[in-house]
Amino acid sequence: MVNENLIVTATTANSWIHPEVKNWASTTDALIKDAVRCAEAGAAVVHVHLPAGEEAETVHRIREQCDVIIQAGMSSYPIEQRTAMFDARPDMLSVILNHHDEHFTGLSVNQLHPIEELEQYCRLCRKYGILPEWEVWHTGSYWNLRYLAEKALTKPPHYLTLFFGWPGGTWSPPTSDEYLHRVNYMPSHCVFSVSVMGKEQAAIISLAIKSGGNVRVGTEDNPFIRPGTPAKDNAEIVRKTIRLGRRLGREVADPSEARRITGMKKR
């Protein structure tokens, strides 16, 4: 895996812990422009919170302008509230493998995602030709993934995002030993990325790059380009991440290569 090129995911959403920064898109037009600029900067994947009522149009307009992999976020929603996301047919859909328990500035999120819902996600993703992006917040997530795989509801390679430092009851420390622990217990046939909320991001994504993982960066995770300095936009964060990857010996994967690495069918 270390020999594979680096998949960079750019998340275009607002910062949940730094709402005062406001360097993210606040309209659909701005969101689409941000996603395209991230693709032009070198991101293979854009993590997008599709605007309600404009899900299909947003996916279509991004695809008109670039070949970036579109990953639809907001896994905190119950599956019943994501029908329009399925209908929009993004390339990936974020699905958390455990419950949500998050505490942000002025907002708390508590949402159960039972195994029956995860089974339904598998069936719907297969029906719509969407690759699940499995969100892993602790090792219990792996038990659920193995359960789904053993029932042949999801097939390898499994694409994971490992979360660190997100505040709330599913928090895990953004440290190297926690990262290595999560990687050591990972099921076989997985491709993974890391999401780190907060100032520890640089250390953990560097470790992931060096050890064959992939990275997720952007305003939702950490809106700063350096401590205390907000990024101009997400494209600036993507370019900085790609420079870091190259210094650590990893070239960047384009969307076509990222599709091959993740086992995604070409649209």
130 is written with which tokens?
Answer: 């969407």
pLDDT of residue 265: 76
- pLDDT of 266 > 90? The answer is no
Q: Specify the amino acid at residue 247.
A: R
Q: Is 142 helix (H, G, I), strand (E, B) or coil?
A: helix
The pLDDT of 234-260, averaged and rounded, is 97
pLDDT in tens, 221-245: 999 999 999 999 999 999 999 999 9
Q: Give the CATH number for residue 23.
A: 3.20.20.70
- pLDDT of 197 > 90? The answer is yes
Is the distance from CB of 94 to CB of 117 less than 8 angstroms? no
- Asked whether residue 50 is assigned to any structural domain, the reply reads yes
Q: Is 207 helix (H, G, I), strand (E, B) or coil?
A: helix
Count how many domains the chain has.
1
Is the distance from CB of 59 to CB of 50 less than 8 angstroms? yes
- pLDDT of 254 > 60? The answer is yes
- pLDDT of 2 > 80? The answer is no
- Asked whether residue 228 is assigned to any structural domain, the reply reads yes
C-alpha 35/C-alpha 246 separation (Å) is 22
- Asked whether residue 2 is assigned to any structural domain, the reply reads no
pLDDT of residue 26: 93
- Asked whether residue 3 is assigned to any structural domain, the reply reads no
pLDDT in tens, 121-179: 999 999 999 999 999 999 999 999 999 999 999 999 999 999 999 999 999 999 999 99
Q: Is 132 helix (H, G, I), strand (E, B) or coil?
A: strand
- Asked whether residue 83 is assigned to any structural domain, the reply reads yes
Helix axis angle, 55-65 to 28-41, nearest 10°: 40
Phi, psi of 161 (to 5 degrees): -120, 125
pLDDT in tens, 11-20: 999 999 999 9
Is the distance from CB of 124 to CB of 33 less than 8 angstroms? no
- Asked whether residue 267 is assigned to any structural domain, the reply reads no
Q: Which domain holds residue 247?
A: 8-262
**Radius of gyration over every alpha carbon of the chain, rounded to an integer in angstroms:** 17
Q: Are strands 214-218 and 190-196 parallel, antiparallel or unpaired?
A: parallel
In this structure, how many other beta carbons lie within 10 angstroms of the beta carbon of residue 124?
18
- For residue 267, what pLDDT band results from cuts at 50, 70 and 90? low
- Quote the pTM value: 0.96
pLDDT of residue 106: 86
pLDDT in tens, 78-92: 999 999 999 999 999
pLDDT of residue 148: 98
- Asked whether residue 1 is assigned to any structural domain, the reply reads no
pLDDT in tens, 29-75: 999 999 999 999 999 999 999 999 999 999 999 999 999 999 999 99
- pLDDT of 3 > 90? The answer is no
pLDDT of residue 30: 96
- Asked whether residue 126 is assigned to any structural domain, the reply reads yes
